[in-house]
Amino acid sequence: MKYSVIFVVLLGLLSSEPMTKFIHGQQKFLGPPAKLAPRVQKNVYRSFLSTVALALITLRISQELFRQRNAARTVRGNLTIVSSFIYLL
């Protein structure tokens, strides 16, 4: 879980507007968002937070689906064992 949170934060940082412009070479990196205009700064923070939130929600849903799948296997396995035991009786 710890590594997935680190991955999500890095993904959010890389997808922020100044970083993507820096990666694609459209302009030089302007440094921290505090040096940007307030409106642009707000948009950068909003896009970063929405990316992180979306990634965390996706991570949580995938973990829940994985748990349900494992639980279904366990229930299926237990039913097979019980039905085999009843058949033997």
Q: Encode pLDDT of 43-69 as tens digits.
A: 777 777 777 777 777 777 777 777 777
Q: Check if the beta carbon of residue 48 is closer than 8 Å to that of residue 13.
A: yes
Q: What is the 3-state secondary structure (H, E, C) of 12-34?
A: HHHHCHHHHHHHHCCCCCCCCHH
DSSP 8-class letter at 89: -
49's tokens = 């937070």
Q: What is the pLDDT of residues 1-13, one digit of tens each?
A: 566 666 666 666 6
| Model confidence pTM above 0.85 | no
CA distance 10 to 57: 16
